[in-house]
Amino acid sequence: MIAAAIPTPSVDWAALAPIIVLLAASAVCLLAAVLLRPAWGRAVSAGATAAAFVGAAVAAALLFDSSETPSSVTEGALARDRLGLFATFIICLIGLLAVGVSWMHTARRHVPEYYGLLAATAAGMIFLTQSTNLMTLFLGLEWFSIGLYILCAYDVGVVGSLEAGLKYLIVGGFGSAVLLFGSALVYGATGQIEFSAIAEATAKQDLSGDLYLVAGLAMILAGLGFKVSAAPFHMWTPDVYEGAPTPVTAFMSAATKAAALVLTLRLLVTAFPDEAELWTIALAVIAVVSLAVGNLAALTQTSLKRLLAYSSVAQAGFMLTAIAAGNEIGGQALLYYLIPYGAASLGAFAVVAARERELGRAVTLETIGGMGWERPLLGGAMWVFMLSFAGMPLTGGFVGKFYAFAAAYQRGWTWLVVIGVIATAVSIYYYLAVIRAMYMRSAPAAGVVAVGGQPPRDSALSAVAATCVVVVIGSFVAVEPIIDLAQKAVASLAFPY
């Protein structure tokens, strides 16, 4: 009787398949942690997580095909559209590769819980990219953030891991609070929480330029800025990236950016088309600041993880450039950029993880000396990743930057192109510093001897590095198919410019 009194919304369960599969894997991991012996638990949980990522990716691909016209999963809370599914696919692949990086991670305790968290966190990211109202947005954001807080602090034995988790928790919590406050202001101004309804209300009630709405938008942008680690909201990034277990860093550097940036694109384009003048310029400014801060700070780093952290700030600047352009090319540029960026970022941290395991201590530009010759595969892979970050041809990073610049130019912002080009020129210095350290310095000169003789062969990690190389170079060759998909993914968005 009571059930009949409460109208239940219809739910498109098929569209939730990726999230459900990942959550199921997470549950399997937690059961394995309790029921199985550690060795079995490790194998079962890693296998289940990897299988879930594959399954979710396949589901996303199938859904992509059948979701030409966007629809709502449930009452305007989540969208079943190609934008979300494109991001889902990328996040799942990143997750799968992250499992490979984690497989030989040195921590021995609570391994199944680790994989469970990984799967659940990825599910949260997918939820975020598909969210279409401010409530689900916040829910998704917190969901994956809490997972990441724990993952960062997972290596309690390692100095800095707990600190990283706590730091991320505090700063991330602050960012979430700002975003929530902003959401409240937007709701207060428009009376709506659904993205498209906010846009309608803004247009109908002529709220464009309304103080509460603008303040809310600004606070939402700041909150998202924390998540994508764009300057000036990036202060946590180097510390957390350095302190967190390297496989976690690899995962979060690639996947968090993908989820948060896609959400940013969706939110701004669907909810705030009337404020486009405002947010495009605001994002352009944030992009420029990120490029400046990230690149300049990276120049002086010696710790490789910190260097890559600052580089990720700068990379966020390039991707925000694409969103800031506010046109269709910009949307395509963002989605394209995420692929080589994700692969290069995850791969680079994977190489760092491999070196860490070899040496048993932090990886710096000194301790990586000679690695290119000792480990030809990992060295060559790192070479490719650095070139991709630097936007050199023969890697997808080049095409991504080219598209981002093209979008900015089409918007009429030649100045942004010029700044991006200058930032690229600066970045070459430190990306090449990594190559220089790996190939032009020998290991004995750096005074490094691997602990415990020959390190165990880590074929999972090598396979991940090789896959990332294939993705980075493959995305350079196969631009047309990827851009076609990206074009389909952003086709449902009405870009303001």
CB of 344 to another protein, least distance (A): 15
Establish if 394 lies at the interface with another protein (CB under 8 A).
yes
One residue of 417, 443, 446, 491 binding another protein per CB under 8 A: 417
Establish if 399 lies at the interface with another protein (CB under 8 A).
yes
Question: Rounded to an integer, what distance in angstroms lies between the CA atom of residue 59 and that of residue 69?
Answer: 17
| Piece in contact with another protein (CB under 8 A), picked from 70-78, 91-99, 104-112, 417-425 | 417-425
Both tokens assigned to 189:
């101004």
CB of 82 to another protein, least distance (A): 17
Establish if 439 lies at the interface with another protein (CB under 8 A).
yes
Question: Rounded to an integer, what distance in angstroms lies between the CA atom of residue 233 and that of residue 256?
Answer: 15
| DSSP per-residue codes, 402-424 | HHHHHHHHHTT-HHHHHHHHHHH
Establish if 470 lies at the interface with another protein (CB under 8 A).
no
Query: 224 or 339, CB closer to another protein?
Result: 339
The number of beta carbons lying within 10 Å of the beta carbon of residue 90 is 25
Query: 13 or 373, CB closer to another protein?
Result: 373
Beta strands, E only, 65-199: 71-72, 79-80
What does DSSP assign to residue 72?
Answer: E
One residue of 393, 444, 451, 459 binding another protein per CB under 8 A: 393
CB of 436 to another protein, least distance (A): 7
Establish if 463 lies at the interface with another protein (CB under 8 A).
no
Establish if 425 lies at the interface with another protein (CB under 8 A).
yes
Select from 328, 330, 335, 321 the least CA-distant residue to 493.
328
Question: Rounded to an integer, what distance in angstroms lies between the CA atom of residue 287 and that of residue 319?
Answer: 8
One residue of 203, 373, 449, 494 binding another protein per CB under 8 A: 373
One residue of 435, 450, 463, 491 binding another protein per CB under 8 A: 435
How far out from the chain centre does Cα 447 lie? 35
Q: For residue 232, is the peptide bond before it cis, meaning its omega torsion is within 30 degrees of 0?
A: yes
Both tokens assigned to 26:
């997470």
Residues 312-371 that bind another protein (CB under 8 A): 329, 332
Query: 158 or 417, CB closer to another protein?
Result: 417
Residue with tokens 């396979």: 463
CB of 429 to another protein, least distance (A): 7
Query: 380 or 455, CB closer to another protein?
Result: 380
Q: What is the dihedral of CA 271, 276, 279, 284, to 10 degrees?
A: 130
Assess contact for 240 and 226: CB atoms under 8 A.
no
- Say whether 303 sits in a helix, a strand or coil: strand
CB of 484 to another protein, least distance (A): 9
* Residues in touch with another protein (CB under 8 A): 329, 332, 373, 376, 380, 387, 392-394, 398-399, 402-403, 405-406, 409-410, 414, 417-418, 421-422, 424-425, 428-429, 432, 435-436, 439-440, 479-480, 483, 487
